[in-house]
Copies of this chain bind each other. A is one copy, B any other.
Amino acid sequence: MNDSGQGPGTSARPKRKDARRNQQTLLEAAASVFVASGVEAPVRDIAAKAGVGMGTIYRHFPTRADLVIAVYRHQVDACAEAGPTLLATSTTPHAALGQWVDLFVDFLVTKHGLAAAMQGDGTGFEALHAYFLERLLPVCTQLLDAATASGEIRSDLNAYQLLRGIGNLCIGAESDPRYDARRLVAHLVEGLRQPH
């Protein structure tokens, strides 16, 4: 089930050479523009950077969210796969959870505007939210369950709420030196130990 759930944009590889090349060019251009201007950069900028027309973008990625997903798919997958690994190699489930959360936060904080887009306020990024959830919710659930079972954590918080809380805490972290999302998240995770 590793590659079957691919969303639109990267699922069926196009037949024609130019189409495949354009898709690759677009992914690279988008990644570059995202780094420079954030995830909410104008679509025109990405098209210009890639040297293609608007229509080409929307042909390959019907939605901006699809493009964002395609760009970050590998990293999200890596984060998802790190969960079980950490659980197996860490000293305790709680330590594994902490390290995994750090991984996730590092990912979000270094992607300009990604956290904000992910929580989508009707800006057309709902698909992005759904994708993150689909990939990371099972992993987070597994880690949380393990930590709960080991008695290290006593909390009525489920994985969805934790994930969402972490995502929220990361919003705007990349553009505000006074704000340290990592520390806030650490405090939140620390709070899991106390019941209510």
CB of A87 within 8 A of chain B? Answer: no
Contacts of A179 in B (CB 8 A): 160-161, 164
CB of A184 within 8 A of chain B? Answer: yes
CB of A172 within 8 A of chain B? Answer: yes
CB of A18 within 8 A of chain B? Answer: no
CB distance from A80 to the nearest CB of B (A): 20
Contact with B along A155-179 (1 / 0, CB 8 A): 1110011001100111110001011
Contacts of A156 in B (CB 8 A): 183
Q: Assess whether B183 is in contact with A187, with CB atoms less than 8 Å apart.
A: no
Q: Assess whether A121 is in contact with B160, with CB atoms less than 8 Å apart.
A: no
Q: A121-B116, A169-B168, A172-B168 are in contact. Are A178 and B191 (CB under 8 A)?
A: no
CB of A180 within 8 A of chain B? Answer: yes
For chain A, residues 75 to 124, give those with C-beta under 8 angstroms from any C-beta of chain B. 113, 116, 119, 121
CB of A194 within 8 A of chain B? Answer: yes
- Chain B, Cβ-Cβ closest to A163: B179
Q: Assess whether B165 is in contact with A169, with CB atoms less than 8 Å apart.
A: yes
- Chain B, Cβ-Cβ closest to A160: B178
Query: Which one of A116, A165, A192 has the greatest number of beta carbons of chain B within 10 Å?
Result: A165
CB of A152 within 8 A of chain B? Answer: no
Cα distance, A95 to B109, chains bound together (Å): 32
Contacts of A189 in B (CB 8 A): 191
13 contacts between A and B (CB under 8 A): A113-B121, A119-B172, A121-B171, A155-B187, A156-B183, A160-B179, A164-B178, A164-B179, A165-B187, A168-B184, A187-B191, A190-B194, A193-B194
Sample of 9 further A-B pairs with CB below 8 A, known A157-B187, A165-B184, A187-B194: A113-B121, A116-B121, A155-B187, A157-B183, A157-B184, A168-B170, A186-B191, A191-B191, A191-B194
